[in-house]
């Protein structure tokens, strides 16, 4: 493919308006070309930074647009599989917000559709594109902290708006599906391992998990993490080895939650800090996606990787189903 990849967005979601729309517009090798929304007023903020944006009044029209090569899907969770399959059937490359499925088994259809279409489909798991996570992975896997023995993680925010889709079971809401992908997927990304066992204790409200305390065993190390959508905002990941510790202070919302930093706690209580103040993982994600589309190189976060994270989410939800 020559020239930039032309993108369309299905739905004028707040996250697309504030983060991914601007990221697609800013990314090298990408061009934000179209938006699908029935409400013209919702298109106005997108046109403010992308004046030549074409606005379709329905999703099918955008998928039929021959100019569009790639589609970004920020729809509610329960609509992700349906519209990813429709976009693939239309011959589009697809980047879909997490979680791309609500159950691991649904990946069978997505992978089959991706392979049949010969296009790229991926979950929008942006953190693997951030240099802080690539640096953390390199340090852990190079033995900088010695043998890894324990991983801890936490991510929380306070959302008590019952009209919000994160608090609606029918829309695939709940903390684990919204933010569990971070504490699970980041551990898998850094270590390259899958859990041997996993258990969870979960607090439920109206069919939605609001707090989850997870414990797992991996080959050579143990793991515990929690997620909550009813607590003060907080996030952190630590990888604790025999000879040191790696701590990420704004691991999942770098630039919004705080500066992206990787702390390397060395023997003798020395701490070396590497900062990443300028990196935008949303832009980096789009650029990586476009490189894979144009050049055919392997995408850093394929569906097969995302499937493993969804398997952990499924295990945690099943383990904590009795509350």
Q: What is the pLDDT of residues 127-181, one digit of tens each?
A: 999 999 999 999 999 999 999 999 999 999 999 999 999 999 999 999 999 999 9
For range 67-82, the mean pLDDT: 98
Q: Is pLDDT of 1 > 80? A: no
Q: What is the pLDDT of residue 47?
A: 96
Q: What is the distance between the alpha carbons of residues 120 and 110, in angstroms, rounded to a whole number?
A: 11
Q: How confident is the model at residue 256 (pLDDT cuts 50, 70, 90)?
A: confident
Residue 42: active-site member: no
Q: Is pLDDT of 283 > 80? A: yes
pLDDT digits (tens, 9 = 90+) for 284-299: 999 999 999 999 999 9
Give the number of residues written for the chain: 323
Instruction: Output the pTM of the full model.
Output: 0.96
Q: What is the distance between the alpha carbons of residues 248 and 217, in angstroms, rounded to a whole number?
A: 21
Q: What is the distance between the alpha carbons of residues 8 and 31, in angstroms, rounded to a whole number?
A: 9
Q: How confident is the model at residue 28 (pLDDT cuts 50, 70, 90)?
A: very high
Q: Is pLDDT of 322 > 80? A: no
Q: What is the distance between the alpha carbons of residues 211 and 196, in angstroms, rounded to a whole number?
A: 23
Exposure string over 45-84, b if 16+ CB within 10 A, otherwise e: bbeeebeebbbbeebeebbebeebbbbbbbbbbbbbbebb
In the DSSP assignment, the letter for residue 306 is H
CA 275 from centroid of its chain's CA atoms? 22
> Domains in the chain, start-ordered, CATH in brackets?
5-124 (3.40.50.720), 127-282+309-319 (3.30.360.10)
List of residues 6+ apart from 51 with CB closer than 8 A: none
Q: What is the pLDDT of residue 132?
A: 97
Q: What is the distance between the alpha carbons of residues 36 and 56, in angstroms, rounded to a whole number?
A: 5
For range 47-53, the mean pLDDT: 96
Q: What percent of the chain has pLDDT over 70?
A: 99
Q: Which of 92, 98, 266, 274 is catalytic?
A: 98
Q: What is the pLDDT of residue 323?
A: 56
Exposure string over 225-264, b if 16+ CB within 10 A, otherwise e: bbbbbebeeebbbbbbbeebbbbbbbbbbbbebeebbbbb
The pLDDT mean for the chain works out to 97
pLDDT digits (tens, 9 = 90+) for 107-116: 999 999 999 9
């Amino acid at each position: 493919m020559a020239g930039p990849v032309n993108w369309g967005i299905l739905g004028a979601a707040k996250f697309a308006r504030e983060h991914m729309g601007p990221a697609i517009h800013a990314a090298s090798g990408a061009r934000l070309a179209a938006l699908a929304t029935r409400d013209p007023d919702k298109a106005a903020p997108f046109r403010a930074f992308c004046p030549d944006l074409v606005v379709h009044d329905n999703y099918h029209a955008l998928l039929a647009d021959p100019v569009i090569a790639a589609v970004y899907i920020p729809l509610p969770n329960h609509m992700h599989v349906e519209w990813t399959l429709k976009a693939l059937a239309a011959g589009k490359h697809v980047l879909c917000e997490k979680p791309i499925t609500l159950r691991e088994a649904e990946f069978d259809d997505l992978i089959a559709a991706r392979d049949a279409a010969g296009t790229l489909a991926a979950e929008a798991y942006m953190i693997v594109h951030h240099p802080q996570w690539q640096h953390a992975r390199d340090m852990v896997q190079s033995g900088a902290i010695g043998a890894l023995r324990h991983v801890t993680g936490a991510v929380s925010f306070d959302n008590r708006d019952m009209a919000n889709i994160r608090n609606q079971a029918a829309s695939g809401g709940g903390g684990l599906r919204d933010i569990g992908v971070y504490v699970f997927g980041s551990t898998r990304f850094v270590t390259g391992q899958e859990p041997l066992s996993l258990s969870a204790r979960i607090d439920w409200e109206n069919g939605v998990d609001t707090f989850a305390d997870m414990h797992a065993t991996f080959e050579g190390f143990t793991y515990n993490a929690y997620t909550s959508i009813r607590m003060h905002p907080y996030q952190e990941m630590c990888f604790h080895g025999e000879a040191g510790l790696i701590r990420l202070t704004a691991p999942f919302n770098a630039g919004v939650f705080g500066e992206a930093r990787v702390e390397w706690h060395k023997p003798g209580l020395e701490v070396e800090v590497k900062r990443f103040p300028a990196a935008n993982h949303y832009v980096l994600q789009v650029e990586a996606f476009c490189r894979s589309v144009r050049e055919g190189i392997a995408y850093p976060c394929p569906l097969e990787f995302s499937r493993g994270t969804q398997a952990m989410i499924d295990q945690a939800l099943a383990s904590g189903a009795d509350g």
